[in-house]
Amino acid sequence: MEDEKYARELEVAVRVVHVACALCGRVQERLLAKDIVSKDDDSPVTVADLSVQAITSWLLSKTFGVQNVSIVAEEDVETFAKDDSAGLLEAVVNTVNESLAFASVYGLQIPEATLGTSEVLEAIGRCNSTGGLSGRHWVLDPVDGTLGFVRGDQYAVALALIEDGKVVLGVLGCPNYPVKTEWLNYHYQYHQTTTQLSPTTPDAWGKGCVLYAKRGSGEAWLQSLIPENTTLEWPNCARLIRVSSVNDPALATLCEPVERANSNHSFTAGLAHSVGLRKQPLRVHSMVKYAAIARGDAEIFMKFAKSGYKEKIWDHAAGVVIVEEAGGVVTDAGGRPLDFSKGTYLEGLDRGIIACSGVTLHEKLIDAVYASWDSSNL
């Protein structure tokens, strides 16, 4: 039955992302400078990035059999080759074991014995697939928006499954993205400060959520994050989410990247103005932008990379399928679907990426790109 296809994979992926989010929450609360190193491209990598990759690899391999699991992921063991990384490796091994001990809360298998350094390195190193047009590949961004993570702000854990070049399911964990939309206006750290003064726990207001969808189902779902020390029973209850019905640009909210490093903010701003967007943009780190559109908190996300920057599949795969199944539209700036079949990068991308809550807004933006591209300074 078509309905049953990928059901097991989706169920396991959702549980794995819950474990990963709990791990990230713990690490974020106690993050120290020694837990962060810089990669060769100067982007930060933390204990959380490497630990999430290790537990995801271990749990997927344990569930489906190591020979059946191919994972494309952002991090690699080269990070530990740096002179200043001995403390980082020790912290990763401890964090992995601490988190896997709680995996049974989410209905997943736990290791029979503590994982040693070599087993943790092996789990991270197994995530060395490059994807492609044939076969089944898991795609993982262990912490998308590491800068947001380090600052105590928004970030995401993203896990998708690609089969024969097509994204068939996506799970997006957003540990600091409140279940209640009205909390969005409060900065997470501000709320963290106030919760320390009051006896309520952050979980009381639904601090985080996990969104997920399966290709072709026409449904996208949202769950509250379940804390590890919970008495709640798995399975966690979920609710359907849909994109916003707003199709008037003057009423639409645009999601913008916080970082200016790899996106052209000035072109995006010009485009937003020409289409008639009037509202203050929602500036959030990471794939939380896709979550915002899928949930109906925003209507538009545009990203036009600066020359020479290539979009990676793990930055988009999970978010794209969730937005599309929630009723939205995601294409490149030429109006074509994104191509996840070419390996690690979104090759052949026409100028940029446009995600919208509906066809009307999407068409207006595509038209505006064609009208303004030649005169832009890209």
Mean pLDDT of 17-36: 85
Q: What distance in Å separates the CA atoms of residue 26 and residue 179, rounded to the nearest whole number?
A: 19
Is 342 a residue whose pLDDT tops 70? yes
Is 228 a residue whose pLDDT tops 80? no
Q: Please check whether residue 228 lies inside any domain of the structure.
A: no
**pTM of the predicted model as reported, rounded to 2 decimal places:** 0.91
User: 373 in helix, strand or coil?
Assistant: coil
Among 22-26, 41-45, 48-52, 127-131, where is mean pLDDT lowest? 41-45
DSSP code string of 38-59: E-TTS-EEEHHHHHHHHHHHHH
Range of the domain at 321: 249-372
Give the model's pLDDT for residue 263: 72
User: 167 in helix, strand or coil?
Assistant: strand
Measuring CA to CA, which residue among 36, 283, 29, 321 is closest to residue 175? 29
Percentages (nearest 5) of helix, strand, coil residues in the chain: 40, 20, 40
Mean pLDDT of 170-199: 64
Which residue matches tokens 């997006």? Answer: 172
The reply, when asked if residue 332 is annotated as ligand binding, is: no
Among candidate residues 46, 146, 253, 331, the one labeled active-site is 146
pLDDT band at 183, cuts 50/70/90?
Answer: low
Q: Please check whether residue 162 lies inside any domain of the structure.
A: no
Q: What distance in Å separates the CA atoms of residue 184 and residue 255, rounded to the nearest whole number?
A: 13
239: Cα separation from own chain's centroid? 19
The tens digit of pLDDT for each residue in 89-113 reads: 999 999 999 999 999 989 999 999 9
Among 10-19, 74-83, 124-133, 236-245, where is mean pLDDT lowest? 74-83
The reply, when asked if residue 141 is annotated as ligand binding, is: yes
Give the model's pLDDT for residue 314: 97
Q: Please check whether residue 116 lies inside any domain of the structure.
A: no
Decide if 84 is catalytic. Answer: no
Give the model's pLDDT for residue 283: 82
H-state helical runs in the chain: 7-29, 47-64, 86-100, 117-125, 146-150, 188-197, 265-275, 288-295, 317-325, 359-372
Is 335 a residue whose pLDDT tops 50? yes
Number of domains in the chain: 1
User: 300 in helix, strand or coil?
Assistant: strand
Q: 14: Cβ–Cβ under 8 A, 6 or more apart, which residues?
A: 171, 210, 212, 223
Please say whether the beta carbons of 164 and 143 come within 8 A: no
Average pLDDT, whole number, for the chain?
A: 87
Give the number of other Cβ atoms within 10 Å of residue 122's Cβ. Answer: 17
Give the model's pLDDT for residue 87: 87
Q: Report phi then psi at 19, rounded to 5.
A: -60, -45
Decide if 76 is catalytic. Answer: no
The reply, when asked if residue 153 is annotated as ligand binding, is: no
Q: Please check whether residue 135 lies inside any domain of the structure.
A: no
The tens digit of pLDDT for each residue in 136-175 reads: 999 999 999 988 898 888 999 999 999 999 999 999 999 9
pLDDT band at 229, cuts 50/70/90?
Answer: low
Measuring CA to CA, which residue among 361, 362, 366, 340 is closest to residue 351? 366
Q: Report phi then psi at 223, rounded to 5.
A: -120, 150
Mean pLDDT of 349-359: 95
Please say whether the beta carbons of 140 and 127 come within 8 A: yes
- Whether omega for the bond prior to residue 249 falls within 30 degrees of 0, making it cis, is no
Give the model's pLDDT for residue 104: 92
Give the model's pLDDT for residue 189: 44
Please say whether the beta carbons of 223 and 209 come within 8 A: yes
Among candidate residues 35, 49, 153, 332, the one labeled active-site is 49
Is 200 a residue whose pLDDT tops 50? no
Mean pLDDT of 220-226: 92
Among 218-227, 233-242, 314-323, where is mean pLDDT lowest? 233-242
Q: Please check whether residue 230 lies inside any domain of the structure.
A: no
Q: Please check whether residue 158 lies inside any domain of the structure.
A: no
Measuring CA to CA, which residue among 153, 151, 143 is closest to residue 284? 153
Give the model's pLDDT for residue 25: 92
Q: What distance in Å separates the CA atoms of residue 288 and residue 274, rounded to the nearest whole number?
A: 25
Mean pLDDT of 249-256: 93
Among 153-157, 176-180, 208-212, where is mean pLDDT lowest? 176-180
Is 51 a residue whose pLDDT tops 60? yes
Q: Please check whether residue 99 lies inside any domain of the structure.
A: no
What are the b/e assignments for 227-254, b being 16+ CB within 10 Å? Answer: bbeeeeeeebebeebebbebbebeebbb
The tens digit of pLDDT for each residue in 272-325 reads: 999 999 998 888 889 999 999 999 999 999 998 887 889 999 999 999 999 999
The reply, when asked if residue 339 is annotated as ligand binding, is: no
Mean pLDDT of 314-339: 97
Residue 221 DSSP code:
E
Q: In angstroms, what is the C-alpha Rg of the chain?
A: 20
pLDDT band at 198, cuts 50/70/90?
Answer: very low
Cα-Cα-Cα-Cα dihedral of 289, 43, 269, 314, to 10°? -40
Q: Please check whether residue 296 lies inside any domain of the structure.
A: yes
Among 159-168, 204-213, 365-374, where is mean pLDDT lowest? 204-213
Q: Tell me the CATH number at 333.
A: 3.40.190.80
